[in-house]
Amino acid sequence: MKTTIVLDAMGSDDRPQPELIGAIQSSASGDIDIILVGDETILKPALDELPGDKTHISIVHAPDVLAMDDDIRQARSKKQNTMAVGMQLVKDGKAQAFVTAGNTGMAMYFGTKIFGLIKGVNRPCLCANFPTRNGQCTVLDIGANAECRPDFLVQFGQMGAVYARLMNNISKPRIGLISNGEEEHKGNELVKSAHPLMQKSVPGFIGNVEGKEIFGGEVDVAVTDGFTGNVFLKSTEAVAKLLLLTIKDSLMSSTRTKIAGLLAKPAFKKVRSLLDPNEIGAAPLLGLNALVFVGHGRSNSDAIVSAINQARKAIEAEMLVELQNAIKR
């Protein structure tokens, strides 16, 4: 069966241009079909104006758009919104995954409503990869659940292990629980309650980890609640941006440092790509009974291409089946 991905064409802040350009670039090889979901009266003329082969792109009309500040009541009133229509296409077997750069809360709401959860999962979670000293570390939850129970963290660990194995090619992932100390007795009540449960039910669990272990490459999956994870994500992005700007300012401060900057440009370009959110594209909502990927509202066309690539890799790796099997165990 040919890979088909549904793309919410009205999700990003600059919609629909990033989605349209990303769809054209992703489908150019001809081995993947993209279904754009959005207002056809807007999408069709905008798509026609862009260069490139659109043979493998189709449009499904969905006139309603979910705003970033919409609540559930407002979302329910928009019956033909792009998320609801797009996810239904996946549920009906027209595609294998759904990608959006829209409202994360609404993606979680409609994903749970339309697909349901994997049997045994209490709450879906978002995960993202962070660069480390020797590779990547998957951190979850990064924002879907501000409040968590200990058993939620156990499930996050189980699903994170599957993600790291399939998407990061780590055969035996090391799973850690984010805390304010490595000792077993450290942490808040949630961490201290989750620790023995993870020891019992999460293969590869190595105990509590701090931030230095994550970036030092001593753990492959780091588990936490959505509040802590979101603060971790945004703080990391801010520090990375600060470092790059500080280095840039220093290199531009004199003729000598400008010459040094030119010599070091390839190395800095490599570092920038490691820290660029557009290189990641989207985070999967693990735990839903379908493949759903959520990107940042500020996504550009490169981020959309990366998000589609993430979804495609998950489809080819049969990640949904692997997640279902992991929770069964």
Average pLDDT per block of 10 residues along the chain, 329 residues long: 93 93 93 96 95 95 88 87 97 97 91 95 92 91 92 96 95 96 88 95 95 93 94 84 81 79 70 62 92 90 93 95 84
Q: Tell me whether residue 9 is in a domain.
A: yes
Return the pLDDT at 268: 64
The three-class DSSP label of residue 108 is: helix
Domain match, 2 and 109 both? yes
Helices (H), the chain: 17-27, 40-49, 72-77, 82-91, 104-115, 150-167, 189-201, 211-215, 226-251, 255-275, 277-280, 301-316, 319-328
The answer to whether position 113 is within a domain reads yes
Query: Distance between CA 178 and CA 115 in Å, rounded?
Result: 30
The values of phi and psi at residue 127, to 5°, are -130, 155
Looking at the structure, tell me whether residues 273 and 126 fall in a common domain: yes
Q: Strands 292-295 and 97-100, how do they pair?
A: parallel
* Structural domain for 43, as ranges: 1-121+287-321
* 128 shares its domain with 107: no
Residue 182's nearest CA partner among 146, 228, 218 is 218
Asked if 269 and 302 sit in the same domain, the reply is no
197 by Cβ neighbours in 10 Å (0-12 / 13-18 / 19+) ranks as middle
What are the angstrom distances between the C-alpha of 41 and each of 9, 12, 46?
12, 18, 9
DSSP code of 96?
A: S
Q: Same domain for 78 and 175?
A: no
Q: Is the domain of 103 the same as that of 198?
A: no
Same domain, 226 and 131: yes
Q: Is residue 328 assigned to a domain?
A: no
Distance from C-alpha of 277 to C-alpha of 290, rounded to nearest angstrom: 24
Residue 326, in any domain of the structure:
no
Paired tokens of 103: 């409202």
pTM of the predicted structure, to 2 decimals:
0.89
DSSP letter for 289, please: S
The Cα 328–Cα 326 span in angstroms is 5
| Cα distance between residue 77 and residue 139, in whole Å | 34
Residue-level pLDDT at 223: 97
107/127 same-domain check: no
With CA atoms as reference, report the closest residue to 8 among 60, 69, 67, 82: 82
Same domain, 134 and 259: yes
Tell me what pLDDT residue 243 has.
Answer: 79
* Residue 60 forms part of a structural domain: yes
Number of domains, the chain: 2
55 and 150 together in one domain: no
Tell me if 282 is assigned to some domain.
Answer: no
| pLDDT for res 86 | 97
Shared domain check, 304 and 250: no
Residue 327: inside a domain, yes or no?
no
Q: Where among 258, 277, 296 does a domain terminate? A: 277
CB 117 within 8 A of CB 309: no
Q: What is the CATH number of the domain that holds 136?
A: 3.40.718.10
Do 299 and 264 have their domain in common?
no
Q: What is the pLDDT of residue 272?
A: 63
Which residues are bridge partners to 7 per DSSP? Answer: 36, 99
Residue 259 lies in a domain: yes
Query: Is the Cβ–Cβ distance between 18 and 38 less than 8 Å?
Result: no
- Please report, for the chain, how many H helices and E strands are present, in that order: 13, 11
Q: Cα(22)–Cα(1) distance, rounded to whole angstroms?
A: 22
